[in-house]
Amino acid sequence: MRKAIVRLVTLSRWAMVPLFAGLSVALALLVVAFLLELVRFAIALPSMNETHVIMGILTLIDLALVGGLLVVVIASGYENFVEKIDRADTPSSPVWMTRISFSGLKLKLFASLMAITGITLLKALMRLETDVSEAQVRWLVVANIIFVAAYAVLALTDRFHPSSRED
């Protein structure tokens, strides 16, 4: 009975594969959204003022960061939870993909989330005169502070507990 349970638990990791496949589809859709936004931005650029140009660029950066976040989750998640990826077939893959631990993955995720919320906050501050309330800005600042604090706690935990790097 025990062996059957252990085998079932071990095989259950394969249930994650459809989730990572779905995230890969989401990444492809994000690329389409990015390209559409880039085309809209390029078409509207001649009539834009400086603020709108910066907002357009920040939107593109935001989409790129979300794409990077998806890549980190897909690649690292697959390698951490399903199976090691054979690098012999893909020698050009980034070094971090073979060396990231679960705690390193968490730090990368938090760093990406902090950057995304920071850009969202910056965009909101730039629209402050028009369509963003003080309450919305306040909540964005609170969210940013929470992400920074959580990141600091995770980084300190990782630093003071070296065993957490051996995931």
Give per-residue pLDDT as tens, 104-140.
Answer: 777 777 778 878 887 877 777 776 666 777 787 788 7
| 119/135 Cα distance (integer angstroms) | 17
Q: Which residues contact 24 (CB under 8 A, 6 or more apart)?
A: 74
Domain boundary among 48, 69, 92: 92
**For residue 30, what are its two tokens?**
């994000």
Could you give the number of structural domains in the chain? 2
Q: What's the domain range around 164?
A: 101-167
Q: Between 3 and 35, where is the model more confident?
A: 35
Instruction: State whether 166 and 112 are in the same domain.
Output: yes
Domain boundary among 63, 92, 121: 92
Instruction: State whether 55 and 114 are in the same domain.
Output: no
Q: What does the pLDDT read at residue 39?
A: 98
Q: What is the DSSP string of 72-86?
A: HHHHHHHHHHT----
Query: pTM, whole model, 2 decimals?
Result: 0.72
Per-residue pLDDT band for 33 (boundaries 50, 70, 90) equals very high
Domain boundary among 29, 64, 92: 92
Instruction: State whether 140 and 164 are in the same domain.
Output: yes
